[in-house]
Amino acid sequence: MDITSWEKVKSQYKLGQFVQGKVEFHAPFGVFLKIDESPAKGLIRIPDFLDEGEMSESMYPEIGKIVGAVVVGYNESNHREIYLNAKPSVLHKALVPLKSPAFAS
């Protein structure tokens, strides 16, 4: 992917943004997702699934499953991967606004 395409991917998938992707394959270090029609793959590294405890291969989401995650970085060395985080605490922070209109006084 050329630098112009890569910059477009980064502007489309901003840090802190919630995204959903389809699990494409498993690797010993993480799970790769297909995000929309992006030429870049999403990567959730093993430590980025759980707040506590260890992730085992039996806990990996199944191939073809839709998974939600938050954009936390980019692989600038190969311009092909968007780093994602799926820890419950990170997802909660991204999905729940700090102030809820229901609780406004």
- Chain mean position to CA 1: 20
The confidence score (pLDDT) of residue 93 equals 86
Q: What is the pLDDT of residues 32-46, one digit of tens each?
A: 999 998 889 999 999
Please name the residue ranges forming H helices in 1-105: 3-12, 88-95
Instruction: Count how many domains the chain has.
Output: 1
The confidence score (pLDDT) of residue 58 equals 83
The confidence score (pLDDT) of residue 105 equals 47
**Residue 103: inside a domain:** no
**Residue 36: inside a domain:** yes
**Residue 83: inside a domain:** yes
CATH number where 52 lies: 2.40.50.140
The pTM (predicted TM-score) of the whole model is 0.85
Return d(Cα 91, Cα 83) in angstroms, integer.
14
Instruction: Write out the residue range of the structural domain in which residue 52 sits.
Output: 3-97
Query: How, if at all, do strands 41-45 and 81-85 pair?
Result: parallel
**Residue 102: inside a domain:** no
**Residue 58: inside a domain:** yes
Return d(Cα 80, Cα 84) in angstroms, integer.
13
